[in-house]
């Protein structure tokens, strides 16, 4: 039996539904997401991965083998990976070590000399040392400003010549085109200086003769990857590159050529070595940044220049492993170069001080770390960022200029002096973040800077964690830390 109120509700709902159907517009079609560009699968990637596992299992990176015996083992591994015997005989039979490569890798030099020497300019690097020896110029300032006007002028010309290409690549891969130009410029001066060292010989030299086991293993893997590229006739016949084995306009290592080089036309193998055809090189840079470096497309730049507030906590600077929201710095009084409050809503950022409290300061985001994946060098990442902003300013008609100034008369420490500084800090009782002793390895890592900041606070210097010759002499002449003890009456006493 159907109850009356049930029938009433049923007919009422049916009437309402019919009325809504007559008045509502037609439903909109579903939004189909934009199809992302996909790089064609490279059949050499699984071969490379299998070869790398074989190199790791062979323990070929241990010291003690003669160079010729080591080459035979490398050839055996490459042969098992499918490299033709004829290729191995041509490339490895009469190969000799390049002592220039070992000397360049072992030398303690500033970033400007390293950039010149890496592309084969040995005499130019020597002249650069001689020219700057008597001038007290901060090495970061020298590196940043070296050839910057040329890079900007040539970069603007490259933008005008390849504007449509750059915009298409930037739109397809969601990477800012100014940074593509900047990486291309800093790496090889827009393809004009890709290196003069034999790639195979350099990799063999470093794979056998590097002083660190992990680096010998790394360069051995790269040598096997290079042999695969030569065997498949992908690499150029007279294959030249930097002394570390990087080649082409983007300066890719051989394994990166296999994994991340991409063709603009969708081909499997890309040509990144022809300087006057930059399409494949620019696509490869963009693909590397998105796939390996995890570039964030929501950020249109990697850094902004800032002004530090009075009483800034330098322990929160240069913390690339502990990024924090930019608003945290804004609440503490951090302002941009225009003396306005920092309004960037970056969720992951840190204050970067490339020359301590006496130089310019920058607020950098996670895309700055992406540049560090491309080249593990803080000066390099900063130079690329500054060049990209300079190119943006010239292209948009708004010239970019730093507000802060670099230290004028300043000298940095050599690796040997940094090692002595670390030993002295240990002896005086200054430790790292976890209370552990500092390693005397000659590198200014986060723990060394943490301990040095404690010493700087003690002597009432700017606690930025940067050491120059003056602070080094002060540390060497300093006495041990004073301890506060109490006598029998409870009064404090220094000892």
Instruction: Kindly report, residue by residue over 453-473, the tens digit of the pLDDT.
Output: 999 999 999 998 988 888 999
3-class DSSP state for residue 487?
Answer: coil
* Residue indicated by tokens 């393809």: 191
pLDDT at 218 over 60: yes
pLDDT at 8 over 90: no
353 is a domain residue: no
pLDDT in tens, 274-296: 988 999 999 999 999 999 999 99
Question: 71-96: b or e for each residue (b if 16 or more CB lie within 10 Å)?
Answer: beebbebbeebebeeebbeebbeeee
429 is a domain residue: yes
122 is a domain residue: yes
3-class DSSP state for residue 317?
Answer: strand
Structural domains in the chain (count): 2
Tokens describing residue 379: 């000066």
CA-based torsion, 298, 302, 305, 309: positive or negative: positive
pLDDT in tens, 98-154: 999 988 887 644 444 444 444 444 444 444 444 434 334 567 888 898 899 999 999
What pLDDT score does 32 carry? 35
212: DSSP letter: S
What pLDDT score does 129 carry? 44
Over range 175-184, report the average pLDDT.
96
pLDDT at 6 over 70: no
Q: Of the candidates 237, 268, 286, which is a domain's last residue?
A: 237
Tokens describing residue 220: 């051995």
Q: Of the candidates 209, 237, 265, which is a domain's last residue?
A: 237
What pLDDT score does 103 carry? 87
What pLDDT score does 16 carry? 42
Mean pLDDT highest for which of 226-240, 408-422, 473-487? 226-240
* Phi–psi pair at 303, nearest 5 degrees: -160, 165
Distance CA 182, CA 151 (A): 8
When computed from its CA atoms, the radius of gyration of the chain, rounded to whole angstroms, is: 29
Q: Of the candidates 207, 237, 267, which is a domain's last residue?
A: 237
Over range 189-197, report the average pLDDT.
92
Over range 22-38, report the average pLDDT.
46
What's the pLDDT band for 428 if we cut at 50, 70, 90?
very high
Distance CA 94, CA 201 (A): 10
List all residues 6 or more positions away from 176 whose beta carbon is below 8 Å from its beta carbon: 170, 300, 301, 388
pLDDT in tens, 52-85: 999 999 888 778 889 999 999 999 999 999 999 9
Distance CA 68, CA 83 (A): 19
What's the pLDDT band for 486 if we cut at 50, 70, 90?
low
Distance CA 96, CA 202 (A): 10
Tokens describing residue 5: 């109120």
pLDDT in tens, 316-337: 898 888 899 998 998 888 888 8
pLDDT in tens, 343-352: 777 889 999 9
Distance CA 303, CA 279 (A): 27
What pLDDT score does 61 carry? 79
What pLDDT score does 26 carry? 42
Give the pTM.
0.82
What pLDDT score does 414 carry? 82
What's the pLDDT band for 18 if we cut at 50, 70, 90?
very low
What pLDDT score does 275 carry? 86
pLDDT at 224 over 80: yes
Segments forming the whole domain that contains residue 89: 37-135+198-237
428 is a domain residue: yes
What pLDDT score does 488 carry? 55
423 is a domain residue: yes
What pLDDT score does 267 carry? 86
């Amino acid at each position: 039996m159907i109850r009356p109120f049930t029938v009433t509700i049923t007919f009422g709902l049916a009437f309402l539904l019919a009325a809504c159907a007559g008045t509502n517009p037609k439903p909109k079609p579903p939004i189909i997401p934009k199809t992302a560009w996909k790089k064609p699968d490279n059949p050499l990637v699984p071969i490379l991965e299998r070869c790398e596992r074989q190199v790791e299992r062979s323990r070929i990176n241990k010291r003690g083998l003669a160079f010729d015996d080591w080459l035979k083992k490398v050839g055996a591994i490459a042969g098992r990976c499918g490299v033709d015997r004829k290729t191995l005989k041509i490339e490895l039979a009469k190969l000799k070590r390049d002592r220039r490569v070992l000397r360049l890798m072992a030398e303690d030099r500033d970033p400007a000399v390293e950039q010149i020497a890496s592309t084969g300019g040995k005499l130019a690097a020597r002249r650069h040392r001689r020219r700057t020896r008597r001038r007290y110029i901060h090495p970061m300032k020298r590196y940043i400003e070296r050839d910057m006007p040329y890079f900007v002028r040539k970069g603007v010309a490259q933008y005008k010549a390849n504007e449509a290409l750059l915009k298409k690549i930037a739109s397809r891969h969601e990477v800012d085109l100014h940074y593509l130009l900047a990486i291309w410029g800093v790496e090889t001066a827009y393809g004009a200086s890709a290196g003069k060292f034999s790639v195979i010989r350099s990799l063999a030299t470093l794979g056998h003769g590097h002083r660190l086991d992990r680096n010998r293993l790394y360069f051995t893997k790269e040598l096997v990857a290079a042999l695969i590229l030569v065997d498949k006739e992908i690499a150029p016949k007279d294959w030249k590159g930097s002394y570390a084995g990087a080649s082409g306009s983007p300066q890719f290592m051989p394994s990166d050529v296999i994994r991340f080089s991409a063709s603009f036309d969708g081909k499997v193998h890309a040509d990144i070595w022809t300087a006057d055809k930059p399409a494949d090189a620019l696509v490869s840079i963009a693909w590397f940044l998105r796939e390996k470096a995890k570039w964030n497309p929501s950020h249109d730049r990697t850094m902004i220049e800032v002004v530090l507030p009075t009483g800034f906590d330098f322990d929160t600077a240069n913390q690339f492993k502990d990024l924090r929201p930019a608003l945290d710095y804004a609440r503490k009084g951090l302002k941009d170069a225009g003396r306005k409050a920092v309004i960037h809503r970056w969720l992951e950022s840190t204050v970067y001080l490339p020359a301590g409290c006496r130089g310019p300061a920058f607020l950098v985001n996670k895309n700055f770390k992406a540049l560090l994946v491309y080249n593990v060098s803080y000066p390099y990442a900063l130079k690329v960022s500054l060049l990209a902003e300079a190119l943006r300013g010239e292209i948009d008609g708004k010239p970019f200029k730093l507000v802060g100034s670099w230290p004028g008369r300043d000298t940095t420490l050599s690796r040997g002096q940094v090692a002595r500084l670390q030993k002295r800090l240990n002896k005086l009782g200054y430790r790292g973040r976890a209370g552990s002793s500092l390693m005397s390895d000659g590198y200014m890592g986060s723990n060394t800077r943490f301990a040095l900041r404690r010493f700087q606070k003690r002597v009432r210097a700017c606690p930025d964690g940067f050491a120059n010759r003056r602070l080094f002499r002060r540390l060497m002449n300093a006495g041990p830390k004073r301890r506060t003890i109490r006598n029998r009456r409870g009064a404090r006493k220094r000892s």
